[in-house]
């Protein structure tokens, strides 16, 4: 049985900068999917990621959200 690894993304929106729909567009362009529940977005890895790959997706999110007035949290684990 293979284990699925997911990176969950929580975004904290600011009142200045870019609106939520634009934030969603940017992170979905990185491969995240909008989700319901305690997380805003989820990234499903096709293969178990290395620590380097997890940090790299964090760097991509940081770049995509730069200047938007948002703060984010990533949580990667198996499901």
- 40-60: b (≥16 Cβ within 10 Å) or e: bbbbebeeebeeeebeebbeb
pTM: 0.91
Beta-carbon contacts of residue 52 (< 8 Å; ≥ 6 apart): none
Could you report the per-residue pLDDT of 59-74, keeping only the tens digit for each?
A: 999 999 999 999 999 9
CA distance 19 to 38: 20
Could you report the per-residue pLDDT of 7-41, keeping only the tens digit for each?
A: 999 999 888 888 899 999 999 999 999 999 999 99
Which residue ranges form the domains of the chain, and what is each CATH number?
5-78 (3.30.70)
**Structure confidence at residue 79 as a pLDDT band (50, 70, 90):** confident
């Amino acid at each position: 049985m293979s284990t699925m690894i997911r990176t969950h993304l929580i975004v904290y929106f600011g009142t200045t900068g870019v609106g939520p729909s634009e934030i969603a567009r940017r992170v979905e362009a990185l491969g995240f999917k909008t989700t319901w529940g305690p997380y805003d977005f989820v990234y499903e890895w096709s293969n178990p990621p290395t620590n380097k790959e997890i940090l790299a997706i964090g760097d991509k999110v940081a770049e995509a959200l730069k200047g938007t007035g948002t703060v984010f949290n990533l949580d990667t684990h198996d499901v």
